[in-house]
Amino acid sequence: MKKLLSLLLALALALSVLGAAVAEDKSVNIGVTSTLTTLNPLAVDNTIVVKYAVSLVFLPLVELNAELEFVPQLAKSITTEDNLTFTITLQDNACWSDGEPVTASDVAFTLAIGADPVSANIALPLYAVEGTDDDGFIASGEKEISGVKVIDEKTLTVTTKWPTALYTFENNFGRYLFTVPEHVLKDVPREDLLTYAWLSKADVINGPYFITEADLQHYVHYQANPNCFLGEAKIKYLNFNVVNAAQMLSGLKSGEIDLVQPTMGSIPVEDYGAVRALTNVTTVDSTPITNESIFINTANVDLRIRQALLYGMDRQTMFDALLQGNGELVDGFLVPASPYFSKDLGLTPYDPEKAAALIAEAKADGARTDLVWYVNANETTWGQAVEYFAAMFEEIGLKIEIRTVNLDNLIEVANNCEHDILSVEYTYEPVDPYTDVAWLLGGEGSWTNYGNDEVGEALALSQALTDVDAIIAQYLIVDRIMQRDVAMISGWVLGTLGVKSNRLLNAAPNVYGTFLNVVDWDIQ
């Protein structure tokens, strides 16, 4: 009996040690279908996967939750009384992982780096901040922006050059400014910061996770920050794994993927039924907000050809055949989930005869009728639609060459305006359509090369007004002009699928807010 008791005690001890090891090695894998361009918080672009990958390490000031409300992260609040001067108040207990407090000076320091021409942050519209030039720059080497004032350790103000809606400021600066530690980086030459290796694997952070290893084409590995002021994450190890969209189903089935966030991981629509049928996962049908946007380079493509593209796409047939009800059809930029969407816009009807007549007229005047259309390789369902559209257009006199490329190449083509047409899933923030619309219709150098005074006036008014109906009227002007001048066409608005493993507790994959409670995630 003594020997048996000893054996049982030894076994119990071994099991307790094993249990501790298992608990210590908690790991969650997040499947994403786009490669990353950077992990440097000062070089963040506007791709969602980069934003979320960085925000686990360096928190944004605020973030959107699933109800489309801005909620605190590094900042306790952002307020304004005149839509010109914005007061940012940081969380009282916000601190760096080395114990130093996160201060208003850290935020001002980060903004000044973003406005220096040698270290400019393309994701921040600093041209709107008082004290910067038309391109958003200060003189190289300047230590501060005159429109940014530090009030005390936890408070600063930012003054803009023109009226800016609070929701636009919160979206532009609140969600995309990733504050870095002044006490660590103050002596690093600014011209070195965008390529400074430390920033992509920082050991002084304010977020819940450190990056331990990364290959931008394949993965990012994280380890919990035990000193995070939001609390130490229960999941010690977190991984972003880049997979092909076609591999999502098998990865979820095998348990190799624990979570798919709808805007970072694209599951082919044809796999939705099979994913929903899996017994080891829970699926979430997200609100349709991701717009399959078709951007037309108006400098290359005649107006009549652009109009023919809109009239000649049988979007309804493709939507019914390929999306099977997972989304909506709209014209223009705004989606029904936006508080500024108007049903008065209506949908342009499919009219192939009108499209053919426009093509023939343009061709007679010497306009180009052979175009190149760039498509994101990960959007397989949309790729099928584009092949169908191209075949239909060839029958009425328009020849389209389809070039399928990965997302980072597509963005490079768009930024260099090398396209005639390009399409990509684009999420216009429903609470802040202004930011993307103003940029995409920003004239020469934008993805559309399109500018229009009436559009500019409507967008400017949307920022100065506070009445919702009045704001809706301004965005309706913009979308109606798009129906006329066709710099952008909405292919469809996709209702994407979020998925989580049933072993993962307290996580709710959604278009917004998925990572707000990441410190509370746990494994069953």
Is residue 442 a contact partner of residue 459, using CB atoms and an 8 Å limit? no
Query: Which CATH number describes the domain made up of 290-494?
Result: 3.10.105.10
Cα separation, 307 vs 359, whole angstroms? 9
pLDDT higher than threshold 60 for residue 11:
no
Domain residue limits, the chain: 58-197, 207-286+497-523, 290-494
Q: 238-275 pLDDT, tens per residue?
A: 999 999 999 999 999 999 999 999 989 989 888 999 99
324 pLDDT band, cuts 50/70/90, is: confident
Which of 456, 455, 460 lies closest to 477, judged by CA?
455
290-313: per-residue pLDDT in tens?
Answer: 899 999 999 999 999 999 999 999
Distance (Å, whole) CA 31 – CA 218: 10
Tell which residue, 486, 494, 331, has the closest CA to residue 425.
494
Pick the closest to residue 303 from 449, 133, 85, 511 (CA basis).
Answer: 449
Q: Which residues contact 354 (CB under 8 A, 6 or more apart)?
A: 308, 311
Distance of alpha carbon 126 from alpha carbon 120, whole angstroms = 9
Whether 262 contacts 496, CB under 8 Å = yes
The stretch 485-489 carries a mean pLDDT of 98
Q: How far is CA 99 from CA 103, 191, 314, in A?
A: 12, 28, 59
pLDDT in tens, 30-53: 999 989 999 999 999 878 999 999
- Number of residues in the chain: 524
Angle between helices 468-485 and 453-464 (to 10 degrees): 160
Residues 82-102 have pLDDT tens digits of 999 999 999 999 999 999 999
From 128, 161, 157, select the one nearest 435 (Cα to Cα).
Answer: 128
> What average pLDDT does this structure show over 231-235?
97
The CATH class for the domain spanning 58-197 reads alpha beta
pLDDT value of residue 378? 83
DSSP characters over 201-220: G-SS-SSSEEEEEEETTTEE
SS3 of 50, please?
helix
Query: Quick check: 24 and 32 in contact, CB under 8 A?
Result: no
Task: Tell me what pLDDT residue 25 has.
Answer: 61
Token digits of residue 32: 């994403």
Q: Which two tokens stand for residue 49?
A: 């996967």
Helix 380-395 to helix 303-312 angle (10° resolution) is: 110
The closest alpha carbon to 265, from 244, 280, 279, belongs to 244
Number of alpha helices (DSSP H) and beta strands (DSSP E) in the chain: 16, 21
The Cα 63–Cα 134 span in angstroms is 28
pTM: 0.82
Structure tokens at 238: 């977190």
Could you report the per-residue pLDDT of 180-213, keeping only the tens digit for each?
999 999 999 999 999 999 999 999 999 999 999 9
Supply the pLDDT for residue 17: 36
**How many CB atoms sit inside 10 A of residue 414's CB?**
19
Q: Are 369 and 399 in contact (CB under 8 A)?
A: yes
Query: Residue 23: what pLDDT?
Result: 39
pLDDT at 24: 47
Q: What is the pLDDT of residues 165-179, one digit of tens each?
A: 999 999 999 999 999
CB count in 10 Å sphere of residue 34: 22
Residue 365 pLDDT class (50, 70, 90 cuts) = very high
CB 497 within 8 A of CB 282: no
Q: What's residue 3's pLDDT?
A: 54
Per-residue confidence (pLDDT) for residue 497, from 0 to 100: 93
Closest CA relative to residue 261, chosen from 273, 248, 250, 274? 248
pLDDT at 22 over 50: no
Query: In angstroms, rounded to a whole number, what is the distance separating the alpha carbons of residues 387 and 390?
Result: 5
Q: Where does 207-286+497-523 sit in CATH, by number?
A: 3.40.190.10
Using pLDDT thresholds of 50, 70 and 90, give the confidence band for residue 6: low
The amino acid at residue 519 is V
Confidence of residue 122 (pLDDT cuts 50, 70, 90): confident
